[in-house]
């Protein structure tokens, strides 16, 4: 089937997706509580539907869009829950003061930070910018996405790439 014929075959599906986009986004937003993330999830669902080989095989595009978007939201929530297991809780200030590092430990930490900064400079510019905003400036993914005009998914991809690079390079050193 040629490109034009495939586009004509998919046109009813796209019209159906466009008609229900807002309601599905609202549904997903209630599940994930973040409007930007909900929009990203619904866009991913639409892309998955658009990539399907035979759009005519979908009997109820609206229900199918809800199902795909719902499954993507569940997958995201599962990843977030798994990620949260490894997050460190904040320590009260009085406990933190008791754990001040020795001078030797502080000097070693400074050397490690200097090394990390050198490794971060090896990252591609956009990846480095995202990594620095998250790890050094403490911005969350949504703030970074808004500041740089990219999707939250792209922020996560840059962070993942930066972390993998830094981890691999730090592994080259005996730290």
- d(CA 125, CA 141) in angstroms, rounded, equals 17
User: What is the torsion angle, in degrees rounded to the nearest 10, for the CA atoms of residue 159, residue 163, residue 166 and residue 167?
Assistant: 180
Beta-carbon contacts of 16 under 8 Å, excluding residues fewer than 6 positions away, are 61, 62, 65
133 backbone dihedrals φ, ψ, rounded to 5° = -60, -35
pLDDT of 116: 80
Contact 78, 53 (CB under 8 A): no
pLDDT of 166: 83
Listed as ranges, residues in the chain with pLDDT below 50 are: 1
Report helix, strand and coil shares of the chain as percent, to nearest 5. 80, 0, 20
Tokens encoding 130: 């995202």
pLDDT digits (tens, 9 = 90+) for 25-62: 899 999 898 888 988 888 888 777 767 766 666 778 78
């Amino acid at each position: 089937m040629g490109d034009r014929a495939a586009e004509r075959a998919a046109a009813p599906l796209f019209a159906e997706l466009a008609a229900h986009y807002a309601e599905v986004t609202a549904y997903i937003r209630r599940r994930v509580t973040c409007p930007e993330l909900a929009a990203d999830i619904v866009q991913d669902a639409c892309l998955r539907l658009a990539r399907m080989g035979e759009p005519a095989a979908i009997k109820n595009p609206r229900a199918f869009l809800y199902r795909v978007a719902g499954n993507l939201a569940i997958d995201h929530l599962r990843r977030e829950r798994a990620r949260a297991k490894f997050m460190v809780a904040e320590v009260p200030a009085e406990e933190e003061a008791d754990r001040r590092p020795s001078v030797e430990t502080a000097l070693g930490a400074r050397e490690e930070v200097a090394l990390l900064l050198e490794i971060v400079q090896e990252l591609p510019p956009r990846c480095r910018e995202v990594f620095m905003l998250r790890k050094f400036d403490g911005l969350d993914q949504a703030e970074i996405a808004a500041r740089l005009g990219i999707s939250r998914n792209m922020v996560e991809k840059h962070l993942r790439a930066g972390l993998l690079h830094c981890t691999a390079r730090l592994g080259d050193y005996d730290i």
